[in-house]
Amino acid sequence: MFQLLKFTEYVLVLQNLSFGIYNILFFLCTKFHNALSIQSELVTTVRLAPKWIIVSLNDLEQINI
């Protein structure tokens, strides 16, 4: 019985550790996916924007605003 209890404690520690690693990986993948989605939307928006807006944005970058 004591050996079973020790084994159960060992398994629970490993299970908690694996869930922690899974949660960290899920969090990082979600952040990376969201960043790629936002970048994709910005590229699409700039491609569809009128040329005067793109020129204005370039001027702002040169002024360092």
Q: Could you list the pLDDT tens digit for every one of the 65 residues in the chain?
A: 778 778 888 888 888 888 889 999 999 999 888 888 877 766 655 565 555 555 555 555 665 54
Domain layout of the chain by residue ranges: 2-63
CA 32: distance to chain centroid? 3
CA separation for the pair 44, 37 (Å, rounded): 11
* Secondary structure in 3-state letters for 1-65: CHHHHHHHHHHHHHHHHHHHHHHHHHHHHHHHHHHHHHHHHHHHHHHHCCHHHHHHHHHHHHHCC
CA 19: distance to chain centroid? 18
